[in-house]
Amino acid sequence: MVTGASKGRVAPRSTRRILFGPVSRNRRLVLSGTPLIVLWQLCEALVPVMIGVTIDVGIETGALGPFALACAGIVVVFLCLSYGYRFGALFLMRALQDESHRIRVEVAEKAVEPVDDPRLAGEWLSLATADAEKVAALVFQLAFTAASIVTVLATAVYLARTDVTLALVILLGLPVTVAITQIVSPAIARRTSREQAAIARVAGIAGDLIAGIRPLKGIGAETTASGRYREASRAARHSSIVTARSWGYMSGLTTLVSGLFLALVALLAGGRAIDGELSLGELVAIVGLTQFLAEPIKLLGDLSAQFAASRASAQRLHDALAAGSHVLDGPERLPDGAPREVRFDGVTAGPLVGVDLTCSPGRLVAITTDGPESADAVVALLEGTVRPVTGSVRLGGVDLQQLDRADRRGALLVVPHAATPPEGTVRAAIDPDARLDETELDAVLTASASHDVVDAHPDGLDHAVRIGGSSLSGGQRQRLTIARSLAVAPPVLVLRDPTTAIDAVTEQQIALGLRTRRDAGTATLVVTSSPTLLAAADTVVWIRDGRVVASGTHHDLQDDPAYREDVLR
């Protein structure tokens, strides 16, 4: 029985660490941006106060000097207001974008690993976009919350100097107002989480549908597939409507309660002005402050729902990132100067029983099996996604179970049968890092028989490649995949059925290209049943019923009728 690999050595981060990580990792930006946002909010609150002061010291008295000084004060307040928000938002937005990118990269790295997680590709995309942004948005939420609290307290202090009763109404009424608006928050948190999950699900189905459109058309299953997508889309639409309705209830409740509260403050202030206890300027300032307070009070009322939405996204990210990886990872490093050799010593795993084989530098070794199960097991063992039940698989003399993942990836490249070139251009699909010069690139194209792919389009190497290589034929995709593998030039290259969609003449050219790699002193292991590739190999390892029954050249093994049956069927 094939068993799963151990998880990586790094423990998954908790939901709390994912949620507050953007703040802790960007302390300098947050500590720079938050005071500026606080300054912006304080200056917003100062505007009606300065207008009231201008009325009292300038307009009512008719004194030109104090009036000009008050107007200059208003200009200074607006300058601080403008630049405070400009640079405060700049710092916080930098933190938000950096964290969104960091989370996207983390999700992408997890998505490309074989993990114990049933999510579709589109669901991973939703995690890397919507959920990443909601978590990173916490830096803005905290900054604006701090600004709102400081502004409300500063307003209360000003009112206490003007009228103690009004100050007490605000200080006592504000917590009650915020508490009332939290009635809808738990429902919003639950519904936001369901909405994100539903949107991710429909995105996953859409990506799956697009990727498999050709096979679906081939079997006439378009109606069934589109019906499945339609059903998921309706569920996502319903979930979004329910969530939007909850936010509407929250907004309406917040507006109603804060409006009643602020109306009470304005009524009390108006009564004081009529009784002569407040000047005209103080009345204008208090009424202006009352109107201004609607924004921070509403923000404080919405805070718990926004925080709950961010926490729900953090939980979804935690669940995805905590999924166990199938890829082996150990503490040992490859010895310097050790030959990059792959060796199976008595390996039993899945259908394989006591398999011994060696692929040394400067050798082209082919493995052929009587069924796909044995071939899958060989590839999975080399990928590091399964453990041998008995025996060991070694790379450079180190057991793969104990080998550091980065070292293994640097020395061993395993290319599965279903590999496809990425979106971009033909050149980027072959040499994404632009490491090859024109001579080296031409050699790779020749070895992979990819010149025809390049010459088939007027744009040549700049021809666009769609997602999943959907703009290319099956043979063209395989040739570009081989070219990409040869361009990487790993010490050990493993290919699984790399030429199943390629004609015999082109396959012969690729076989010669692989022999060129062998001549360069690197190790190449091909799992295939292609007679052309088998004939090009230095050694063919024949596995039947999970056991190595023979090894030798393709020419020698053809004397066995069972071998001919396996490779020529």
Which among 447, 448, 441, 484 is positioned nearest to 465, based on CA atoms? Answer: 484
In this prediction, residue 457 has a pLDDT band, given cuts at 50, 70 and 90, of confident
pTM: 0.63
The residue ranking higher by pLDDT, 42 or 270, is 42
Instruction: Supply the DSSP string of 291-355, one letter for each residue.
Output: HHTHHHHHHHHHHHHHHHHHHHHHHHHHHHHTSPB-S---SB-PPTT----EEEEEEEETTEEEE
The residue ranking higher by pLDDT, 540 or 559, is 540
Task: Tell me how many degrees the CA angle 117-118-119 measures, rounded to the nearest 5.
Answer: 95
The residue ranking higher by pLDDT, 74 or 282, is 74
Tens of pLDDT along 302-329?
A: 676 678 778 888 888 888 887 765 566 7
Model confidence at 118: pLDDT above 90: no
pLDDT of residue 202: 65
Cα 11 → chain centroid:
19
Model confidence at 359: pLDDT above 90: yes
Tell me the average pLDDT across 13-25.
84
Model confidence at 346: pLDDT above 90: yes
Model confidence at 115: pLDDT above 80: no
Mean pLDDT of the chain: 82
Contacts of 77 (CB under 8 A, 6+ apart): 43, 46, 47, 50
- Sign of the C-alpha dihedral computed for residues 336, 337, 339 and 340 taken in this order: positive
Tell me the average pLDDT across 78-83.
92
Tell me the average pLDDT across 185-200.
64
pLDDT of residue 7: 38
Model confidence at 1: pLDDT above 50: no
Q: What percent of the chain has pLDDT over 90?
A: 33
Least confident of 44-48, 252-256, 322-326: 322-326
The residue ranking higher by pLDDT, 293 or 493, is 493
Task: Tell me how many degrees the CA angle 375-377-381 measures, rounded to the nearest 5.
Answer: 120
Alpha carbon of 27 to those of 76, 142, 186, 432: distances in Å? 29, 12, 30, 35
Model confidence at 8: pLDDT above 60: no
Tens of pLDDT along 125-167?
A: 778 887 888 888 888 888 988 898 888 888 878 877 777 777 7
Which among 415, 373, 384, 392 is positioned nearest to 1, based on CA atoms? Answer: 373
pLDDT of residue 190: 64
Contacts of 96 (CB under 8 A, 6+ apart): 22, 133, 136, 137, 139, 140
pLDDT of residue 55: 83
The C-alpha R_g of the chain, in whole angstroms, comes to 34
SS3 content of the chain, % helix, strand, coil (to 5): 65, 10, 25
Alpha carbon of 552 to those of 266, 406, 408, 519, 557: distances in Å? 96, 33, 28, 19, 6
Contacts of 477 (CB under 8 A, 6+ apart): 420, 421, 469, 501
Model confidence at 5: pLDDT above 60: no
Q: What percent of the chain has pLDDT over 70?
A: 81
What domains appear along the chain, each with residue ranges and CATH number? 11-321 (1.20.1560.10), 342-568 (3.40.50.300)
pLDDT of residue 528: 95
